[in-house]
Structure 1
Amino acid sequence: MRGRIEDGQPVTLGHVDPAVVEAGDVVLVRWRGGFLLHLVKEATVDRLLIGNNVGRVNGWASRRAVVGRVVRVHPLGR
């Protein structure tokens, strides 16, 4: 998420209905046995294409995998 959220930068997550997540949102998703905080690049009825802010695409995640949406990005060092 470099450029939008830096490595180690604190964020606040909020509850979100996965059905309303759209392209441009930053979400925490369950991904391959772990969790990823990523940008939603594209959204369909049942899936989200997730990637980072500099062009990389990780792949499709189910909307059911959404844990929360970023509601605030805090300054580094606080």
Structure 2
Amino acid sequence: MVVAPVDPSKLEVGDVVLARVAGTVYLHLVSSVDLARKRVQISNNRGRVNGWTSHDRVFGICAAVDGVTRSGAVGKTLAADSDDSS
């Protein structure tokens, strides 16, 4: 699995994200988006809604699984810094 840094403002329902919940980082399914309040609702893969989390607690998006790119992740990742030496 490949997880890449994400721009949370671009998330959509169905995206799989890396988010911090109660001090631990988990992969979650985005089940709803509230852009006005800068948060996403996260759920597990069994249909249970875990609740809302703010954009600042969402760190990454699942970009690929077993070498297959997840099309929903395209355009949502943050660009890596081109020059880390400055």
Shorter-chain TM band: 0.7 to 0.9
**2:6 alignment counterpart:** 16
SS across alignment from 2:2: strand
Letter aligned with residue 17 of structure 2: V
Runs of 4+ deviating beyond 6 Å: none
Q: 1:67 aligns with which of 44, 59, 78?
A: 59
**1:8 alignment counterpart:** none
Structure of larger gyration radius: 2
Q: 1:56 aligns with which of 48, 63, 67?
A: 48
Aligned residue pairs: how many?
A: 65
Q: TM-score, normalised by structure 1?
A: 0.77
CA RMSD of aligned residues (A): 1.3
Identity %: 45
Per the TM alignment, residue 63 of structure 1 is displaced from its structure 2 partner at its CA by: 1.1
Question: Which has the higher relative contact order, 1 or 2, with Cα contacts under 8 A spaced 6 or more apart?
Answer: 1
Unmatched 5+ stretches in structure 1 = 1-10
Following the alignment from structure 2 to structure 1, what is the Cα–Cα distance between the partners of residues 33 and 21?
Answer: 16
Q: TM-score, normalised by structure 2?
A: 0.70
Letter aligned with residue 43 of structure 1: V
